[in-house]
Amino acid sequence: MTKLLPRVCFVCAATVILSGAASCGPSGSPPAPAAGTSPTVTAFLTDANAKLLRLGLEASQAGWVQETYITPDTEAIAARANEAYTKATTDFAKQAAKFGATDGSADERRQLLVLRNTITVAAPADEKEASELAQILASMNAAYGSGKYCQTPDTCLDIEAVTKILAENRDPARLRQVWEGWHAVGAPVRKSYVRFVELSNKGAKEIGFADTGAMWRSRYDMPAEDFGKEMDRLWGQLRPLYLSLHAYVRARLHQKYGDGVPAEGPIPAHLLGNIWAQNWTNIYDLAAPADGGRRVSLDKILADRKLAGAAIAKYGERFFTSLGFDPLPKTFWERSLFVKPADREVVCHPSAWDIDGDLDVRIKMCIDPTEEDFSTIHHELGHNFYQRAYRTLPAILRDGANDGFHEAIGDTIALSVTPEYLVKVGLLDKAPDTSNDIGLLLNRAFEKLPFLAFGRVVDQWRWRVFSGEVPPQRYNQAWWELRQKYQGVAPPIPRSESDFDPGAKYHVPANVPYTRYFLAHILQFQFHRALCEAAGYKGPLNRCSIYESKASGERLAKTLALGSSRPWPDALEALTGQRQIDARAILDYFAPLKKWLDEQNEGQPVGW
């Protein structure tokens, strides 16, 4: 159950743990129903809630220390705590599945359903195997966290350094070298991953799912097979817009790099400003409109003002308080990690933590003074405000309406970081008029649309891996087939099955489901449009900021407080009035850009 572990984000990564205050449930084994005498639903849930809180707290604390102080010992401690937690969630899920469809009250049945459907990894009943699974997960996480590209034994680049080079360097040979260097981080965990798939599938089967992927797809209040089709439908809505953006960027990169970028066909993945080509904002300068698009550069503003670490996080908090939310507790500022420590290894991948299921929420993020990180800190804080909003529910229900909701809240706020907002908080003197917003829209499109494409890739790959459709000897080939299909990118150098490129993406070794980010990117625009309407805003969606709107804040707060106590369409309706996820708001938001892109692309090949 992810809710008790940090919540890992795409940009961010986090698991969230709830813990228990003092009152822990009975210790010892969960109540195994003896023949003919099942415990009542109420007694079972009371025990499960108490135990999950306690084990969640222990796993969160151990996980926090492990990720902020990577050593063999902290890795072992975190593995033990996670093992206990995973074992308990699996046991409870198994028991929850045994109750009849009409047992308990409606609220209790919701808890049973959530308990059964929302675990991320199910431990096999065999204790040795459960322990092996926990150790594999901890070691893959640690291998990624301390992964480096070493040009020579003395000159090693960590992910921060690699990210910076991919973002700023324009020498294709250097970019290719660094891209290749970072991707080597995946290869050593390939063997572990194969074993992880075997063990986690075994656990999933024991609780009644075909495999781990089917278990992941079953958490969305609809049949697992329907969920896959829903994702296809949403991507179908978006694909024409993505194709227009891709064709435009490919043509601009072809101008810049010549034959290094084919005029037709996929774009080499190392030239898009990001290790995974999931965010293209770093190459904005190569693709800006001829007049520059009059884009406001937050990178420059933050650098000029020498804003760093916690000072950047304060802007995020201030946004939420302007909507009517209470400020974050003092412990948040004391216990979070905002700056990469100079003296030790940490997992820099941003994450938001709910340590105790109550008020001990934290951020772990090595914040740079960049527009990207300014946006990411809003994303992470969205998790923390969500966590705090549902903290009075039973532990089992302390989670988002679905995991896409959890990822969408902070991003929704970040969509309100408009020039007008920057003026209000004193970061900008004057907002440019709205007569030429192509630059703003293009930059936003670079942030969101490539991510949606990549967001389809990661779990399509894992679903196939877990089901056995993609066997280990085709892991890497299948990865690149999907990357080409959805993103229209290709590796800059030939890849083989001695590589393991999915392992060079945090969420694979850390075993964090990824479809949540795809969903979140769609939901955040749907939320944004609805909250702008609640705020009484009229005008182009990309200039709407809900900053200081109490009406928007009230609507948001109500939805967050629901946690996962209701099926997600209820929560969606509370926020937007709609019960179906719909990508239409994205198309509306980017409509002026789509028109402009299609004009630029006239006579050019589109697609690959």
Contact positions vs Zn ion (CB under 5 A)? 9, 12, 407
DSSP-derived 3-state class of residue 8 = strand
Per-residue buried b or exposed e for 28-39, using 16+ beta carbons within 10 Å of the residue's own CB: eebbeeeeeebb
* Residue 12 vs 453, nearer CB to Zn ion: 12
Nearest distance, CB of residue 382 and Zn ion, angstroms: 7
* Residue 364 vs 555, nearer CB to Zn ion: 364
DSSP-derived 3-state class of residue 290 = coil
* Residue 2 vs 177, nearer CB to Zn ion: 2
User: In angstroms, what CA-CA distances link 119 with 219, 395, 505, 590?
Assistant: 9, 14, 21, 36
Query: Where do we find the tokens 């910076």?
Result: 164
Nearest distance, CB of residue 60 and Zn ion, angstroms: 16
Nearest distance, CB of residue 353 and Zn ion, angstroms: 11
What is the C-alpha separation between 283 and 63, in angstroms, rounded?
35
* Residue 507 vs 555, nearer CB to Zn ion: 507
Amino acid at the residue 454:
F
In the complex, which residue's CB is closest to Zn ion? 9
Is residue 441 within 8 Å of 283, Cβ to Cβ?
no
Nearest distance, CB of residue 7 and Zn ion, angstroms: 6
Amino acid at the residue 228:
G
Per-residue buried b or exposed e for 533-555, using 16+ beta carbons within 10 Å of the residue's own CB: bbbebeebbbbbbbbebeebbeb
Nearest distance, CB of residue 379 and Zn ion, angstroms: 6
Nearest distance, CB of residue 349 and Zn ion, angstroms: 10
User: In angstroms, what CA-CA distances link 555 with 155, 191, 400, 573?
Assistant: 51, 48, 15, 11
Nearest distance, CB of residue 380 and Zn ion, angstroms: 6
Nearest distance, CB of residue 454 and Zn ion, angstroms: 15
How many C-alpha atoms does 46 have within 13 Å on its Cβ side? 8
What is the C-alpha separation between 511 and 415, in angstroms, rounded?
28
* Residue 132 vs 403, nearer CB to Zn ion: 403
* Residue 12 vs 142, nearer CB to Zn ion: 12
- 154's CB contacts (< 8 A; 6+ apart) are none
* Residue 204 vs 571, nearer CB to Zn ion: 571
DSSP state at residue 492: S
The length of the chain is: 608
Task: Locate 606 and state its tokens.
Answer: 């589109």
* Residue 54 vs 378, nearer CB to Zn ion: 378
Is residue 55 within 8 Å of 1, Cβ to Cβ?
no
